[in-house]
Structure 1
Amino acid sequence: MKILISNKSGLPIYEQIKVQIKEQIMSGELAENEFLPSIRQLAKDLGISVITTTRAYSDLEAEGFIATMQGKGTFILPKDNEMVREQYLKRIEEAFTSAIESAKLANISNEELIMILENLMKE
């Protein structure tokens, strides 16, 4: 598992960890039932606070991506197709929102924007 922390990112460190682990799970880089480093080990490896890694793991657990078993560790849960679909839908909505905002700033009509999308989908 690779986690890169950026001090220049607008995201808090726990959020950077959470996003990167989630992306690795969704892409298949981290397989179901694979164990993650312990909270303490990850904090040590990244040179950050245990509280920060605890927050990232807690959020991932609340979202259904990982589970912690007392005495055994933290592992990746099997992917729920509906959960994965929702995560991708969320990403798509965010990308569309950004594209719409940019189109408004550039004075691009809805029709032009739809044409751009249709052309990109053909590629």
Structure 2
Amino acid sequence: MNIIISNTSDEPIYLQIVNQLKEQIIKGEIIESDPLPSIRSLAKELRISVITTKRAYDELEKEGLIVTVAGKGSYVAPINTEMLREAKIKLVEEKMTEAVTTAKLIGLSLEELTEMLTFIFEE
């Protein structure tokens, strides 16, 4: 498990943890029943507050991505990866709709927008 925290990001630290763990679960880098580091050890490793780490774990648990067993720790929950993938697709669609709206406002053609998307995708 690899988590990188950026102090220059506009995204709160707990959300950086949540999003990176979600991504690793979706990609299968960490799988069902894999143990997660304890809240304290992750906080120490990342040099952040235990409260921030707890908030990230609470959010992941609320979303059904991890389960916490008292006295044993937190583990990757059995998840429906297809449902999680669909949620991500919906997010991409929302962001693309926003991009298309902005492109239309500044007069970009579909061809120009497609060219931009292709360039970004292939980077």
TM-score range, shorter chain: 0.7 to 0.9
Identical pairs, percent: 52
Correspondence for 2:59: 59
Written as runs of structure 1 = structure 2, the 5 A alignment for 1:78-117 is 78-109=78-109, 112=110, 116=114
Runs of 4+ more than 3 Å apart: none
Work out the number of aligned pairs and report it: 117
Structure 1: 5+ residue stretches without partners: none
Correspondence for 1:75: 75
Give the Å deviation of 1:48.
0.6
Structure 2: 5+ residue stretches without partners: 119-123
Opposite residue 9 of structure 2, the aligned amino acid is S
Coordinate RMSD, CA, aligned: 2.4
Correspondence for 1:29: 29
**Partner Cα separation in structure 1 for residue 90 and residue 30 of structure 2:** 21
Give the Å deviation of 1:82.
4.7
Correspondence for 1:15: 15
Using the size of structure 1 for normalisation, the TM-score is 0.82
CA contact (8 A) 2:26 2:84 kept: yes
Give the Å deviation of 1:22.
0.6
